[in-house]
């Protein structure tokens, strides 16, 4: 066979492969579109559940009354744009000019050198930044709007300008454009295939992969701290971890994770496992692993998470440890439940069942829920109730999407570019695997939680809510408490968690870690990252606390260990899971955590 003939044959094979790929894509796309249209015909499309129309009407009314700020913003925009065009003309004849606008610190979208060195892309970048600033400033500067409407419009505007970034389009992203030319479009074909896979996995909803979902297996390379399930009911499994020391501290630790996510964020891998670190320090550690709810849990309420969750776990742990009081830790929503548990036990005269309380990034006073508040009002909660009526639960993927929108550039658009435009396969990353492992929420519990905590904010009030027959009063709690929040938390702002610490009557220590909701909490000492701030006093204002706080190097984990030294008791022989009355039902991580949606 001649070289030309062989080349022609290989070319035909390549064309046949491309035809096959596009044929497969066409068939899959047709099915997905049909499924989507079927849902639209049944559901009547997506209503304006966030009432964005009403928010824009409010904006229009305020602009009509005082148009001066919009006019000033427009004038500033056109002046800057004229300067940008002037700079570009000078750049074309080889003269340099200072940029009119630059990306904010931490904005990684324009880190490629082409965005600065190539005049066209530098112009596109600055033009986009000027326009996005104009939109955001125009909304932010309007006075007189309803605060909720103002917050919604600022949020929606940020989503819009984020979506319109030139990095999100093939022809205006220099890296993607280069790849497309070099691969003759193969990156886009791979990206389209990735998008179809994500649509199929999300049943028509775009469920963007952030990591290689096949690279991890629970119990194999994540959630691998040794232990056993020693108790279970229809709400949770209780894991007792195997000791690594011959003796352990007398008082056991119980960890209450949020049921919005799965517990193994605190046990990802040996190098960053909070669970393994506690075990290695000589603590007996128990973990609640919540069930991933299905239709059979539709009638479960917050009461059930209390009675069949924390209260059942405490009673079991005390039986295993010879009636020792429990050092309880709650993370995020798990911390809110912990405060309810402590108040419930205090009301019942059983406060001595708890030795100490540790709150990780926990809201108790929901006066300022941050940007999460844009998703929570009566119209949206009623929509959640209606949508969940048939299934009996709030779909975890929907909630995960809402959380991702709080950091849209990092958690949505960066993966849109990598997966769909560049056609790359996501890199294996244990944290992102956990982030993709969503959980459902029982409908009754979820809507009650949104109304009572976020909308009415009555949990902080004396007898503001009733749980399991008891009027809850968080202000009666006298158990020693350690609050840790993080400086850059976008879910539970530290200024919002601080008032919860002020509600407790007992001795309270408030600590502020660096970084965000996850990295600031899962911060092993060996990394020596972020640091933390402490203050001996607990003034009324979080700003006053910060002004008097002292910066410390390392991790809050070691500071907590020092704080706990007066509460953990003497050393006793190590407790082996399953050796007593409560036998090992199965090995950790158990079966509840393995249920995916």
Residue 512 in tokens: 């502020």
Say which residue the tokens 């049943």 belong to.
203
Question: Residue 287: beta bridge partners?
Answer: 239, 255
Q: Which residues contact 388 (CB under 8 A, 6 or more apart)?
A: 394, 395, 443, 446, 447
Q: How far apart are CA 90 and CA 80, in angstroms?
A: 15
Q: What is the mean pLDDT of residues 62-68?
A: 80
Residue 4 has pLDDT above 70, yes or no: no
Q: How far apart are CA 157 and CA 140, in angstroms?
A: 10
Helices (H), 439-585: 443-449, 494-503, 542-548, 556-564
Q: How far apart are CA 445 and CA 299, in angstroms?
A: 8
Residue 41 has pLDDT above 60, yes or no: no
Q: Which residues contact 467 (CB under 8 A, 6 or more apart)?
A: 302, 303, 306, 340, 344
DSSP 3-state of 555: coil
DSSP string over 397-432? HHHHHHHHGGGHIIIIIHHIIIIIIS-PPPPP-HHH
If we measure between CA atoms, which residue out of 390, 413, 388 comes closest to residue 398? 388
Residue 18 has pLDDT above 60, yes or no: no
Least confident range from 10-24, 144-158, 339-353, 546-560: namely 10-24
Report pLDDT digits (tens) over 95-119: 778 899 999 988 999 999 999 989 8
Q: What is the mean pLDDT of residues 438-467?
A: 95
Residue-range domain boundaries for the chain: 12-201, 227-375+438-594
- pLDDT value for 277: 98
Rounded to 10°, the helix 119-140/68-92 angle is: 170
DSSP string over 160-171? HHHHT-GGGSGG
Residue 284 has pLDDT above 80, yes or no: yes
**Widest CA span in the chain:** 93
Please provide the distance, in angstroms rounded to a whole number, between the alpha carbons at the two ends of the chain: 54
Q: Which helix (H) or strand (E) holds 15?
A: helix 3-43
Rounded to 10°, the helix 3-43/186-201 angle is: 30
Residue 396 has pLDDT above 90, yes or no: no
Residue 487 in tokens: 């400086």
- Taking the CA atoms of residue 365, residue 505, residue 350 and residue 364 in that order, the dihedral angle to the nearest 10 degrees is 10
DSSP 3-state of 330: strand
- pLDDT value for 430: 93
Tell me if 23 sits within 8 A of 109, measured CB to CB: no
Q: What is the mean pLDDT of residues 70-90?
A: 86
Residue 43 has pLDDT above 50, yes or no: no
- pLDDT value for 273: 97
Q: How many CA atoms lie within 13 A of 15 on its CB side?
A: 6
Q: What is the mean pLDDT of residues 371-395?
A: 85
- pLDDT value for 249: 98
What is the percent of the chain where pLDDT is above 90? 68
- pLDDT value for 504: 96
Tell me if 496 sits within 8 A of 517, measured CB to CB: no
Buried-state track 61-78, b at ≥16 Cβ within 10 A, e below 16:
ebbeeeeebbeebeeebe
Tell me if 277 sits within 8 A of 418, measured CB to CB: no
Residue 309 has pLDDT above 50, yes or no: yes
Report pLDDT digits (tens) over 292-305: 999 999 999 999 99
Residues with catalytic function: 332
pLDDT category at 403 given cuts 50, 70, 90 is: confident
Question: Residue 482: beta bridge partners?
Answer: 358, 509
Buried-state track 393-411, b at ≥16 Cβ within 10 A, e below 16:
bbbbbebbbebbbbebbeb
Residue 63 has pLDDT above 80, yes or no: no
pLDDT category at 44 given cuts 50, 70, 90 is: very low
Q: How far apart are CA 169 and CA 453, in angstroms?
A: 40
Residue 129 in tokens: 């930044």
pLDDT mean across residues, the chain: 90
Domain 227-375+438-594 has CATH 3.40.1260.10: no
Residue 325 has pLDDT above 90, yes or no: yes
Residue 29 has pLDDT above 70, yes or no: no
Residue 243 has pLDDT above 90, yes or no: yes
- pLDDT value for 34: 58
Contacts by residues 153-158 (CB-CB < 8 Å, ≥ 24 positions apart)? 153/52, 153/55, 153/56, 153/59, 155/371, 155/374, 155/405, 156/50, 156/52, 156/55, 158/408
Tell me if 400 sits within 8 A of 455, measured CB to CB: no
- pLDDT value for 445: 95
Tell the burial category of 136 from Cβ atoms under 10 Å away from its Cβ (0-12, 13-18, 19+): middle
pLDDT category at 26 given cuts 50, 70, 90 is: low
Residue 350, by phi and psi: left (phi above 0), alpha (psi -120 to 50) or beta? alpha
If we measure between CA atoms, which residue out of 293, 346, 340, 355 comes closest to residue 468? 340
- pLDDT value for 47: 53
Nearest 5°: the CA angle 445, 447, 448 is 65
Q: What is the mean pLDDT of residues 444-450?
A: 94
pLDDT category at 15 given cuts 50, 70, 90 is: low
Rounded to 10°, the helix 174-183/186-201 angle is: 110
Q: How far apart are CA 397 and CA 596, in angstroms?
A: 11
Helices (H), 44-118: 52-65, 68-92, 114-117
- pLDDT value for 25: 55
């Amino acid at each position: 066979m001649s070289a030309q003939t062989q080349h022609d044959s290989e070319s035909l094979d390549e064309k046949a492969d491309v035809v096959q790929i596009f044929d497969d894509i066409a068939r899959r796309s047709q099915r997905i579109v049909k499924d989507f249209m079927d849902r639209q015909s049944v559901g009547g499309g997506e209503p304006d559940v966030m009432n964005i129309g009403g928010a824009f009407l409010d904006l229009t009314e305020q602009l009509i009354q005082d148009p001066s700020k919009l006019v000033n913003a427009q004038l500033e925009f056109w002046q800057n744009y004229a300067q940008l065009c002037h700079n570009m003309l000078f750049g074309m004849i080889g003269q340099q000019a200072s940029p009119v606008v630059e990306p904010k610190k931490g904005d990684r979208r324009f880190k490629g050198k082409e965005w600065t060195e190539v005049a066209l892309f530098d112009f596109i970048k600055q033009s986009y930044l000027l326009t996005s600033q104009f939109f955001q400033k125009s909304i932010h500067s309007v006075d007189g709007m309803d605060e909720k409407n103002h917050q919604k419009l600022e949020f929606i505007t940020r989503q819009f300008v984020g979506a319109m970034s030139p990095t999100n389009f093939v022809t205006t992203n220099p890296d993607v454009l280069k790849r497309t030319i070099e691969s003759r479009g193969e990156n886009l074909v791979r990206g389209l295939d990735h998008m179809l896979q994500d649509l199929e996995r999300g049943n028509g909803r775009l469920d963007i992969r952030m990591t290689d979902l096949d690279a991890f297996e629970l119990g194999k390379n994540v959630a691998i701290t040794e232990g056993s399930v020693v108790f279970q009911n229809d709400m949770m499994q209780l894991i007792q971890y195997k000791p690594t020391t011959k003796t352990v501290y007398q008082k056991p630790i119980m960890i209450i994770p949020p049921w919005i996510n799965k517990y193994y964020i605190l046990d990802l891998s040996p190098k960053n496992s909070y669970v393994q670190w506690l075990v290695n320090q000589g603590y007996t550690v128990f973990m609640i692993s919540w069930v991933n709810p299905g239709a059979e849990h539709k009638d479960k309420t917050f009461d059930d998470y209390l009675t069949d969750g924390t209260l059942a776990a405490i009673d079991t742990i005390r039986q295993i440890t010879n009636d020792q009081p429990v050092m309880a830790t709650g993370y995020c929503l798990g911390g809110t439940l912990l405060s309810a548990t402590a108040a419930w036990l205090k009301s019942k005269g059983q406060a001595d069942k708890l030795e100490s309380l540790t709150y990780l990034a926990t809201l108790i006073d929901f006066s300022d829920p941050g940007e999460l508040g844009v998703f929570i009002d009566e119209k949206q909660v009623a929509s959640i109730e209606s949508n969940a009526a048939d299934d009996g639960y709030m779909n975890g993927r929907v909630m995960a999407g809402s959380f991702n929108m709080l950091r849209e550039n990092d958690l949505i658009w960066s993966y849109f570019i990598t997966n769909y435009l560049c056609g790359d396969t996501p890199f294996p990353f244990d944290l992102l695997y956990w982030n993709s492992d969503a959980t459902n929420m029982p409908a009754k519990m979820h809507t009650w939680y949104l109304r009572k905590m976020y909308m009415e904010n009555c949990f902080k009030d004396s007898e503001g809510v009733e749980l399991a027959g008891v009027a809850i009063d968080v202000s009666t709690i006298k158990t020693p408490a350690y609050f840790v929040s993080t400086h850059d938390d976008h879910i539970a702002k530290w200024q919002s968690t601080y008032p919860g610490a002020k509600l407790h009557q007992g001795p309270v220590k408030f600590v502020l870690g660096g970084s965000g909701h996850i990295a600031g909490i899962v911060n092993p000492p060996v990394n020596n990252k972020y640091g933390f701030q402490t203050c001996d006093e607990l003034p009324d204002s979080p700003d006053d606390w910060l002004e008097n706080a002292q910066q410390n190097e390392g991790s809050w984990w070691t500071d907590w260990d020092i704080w706990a030294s007066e509460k953990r008791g003497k050393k006793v022989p190590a407790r082996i899971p399953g050796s007593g009355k409560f036998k090992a039902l199965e090995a950790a991580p158990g079966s509840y955590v393995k249920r995916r949606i």
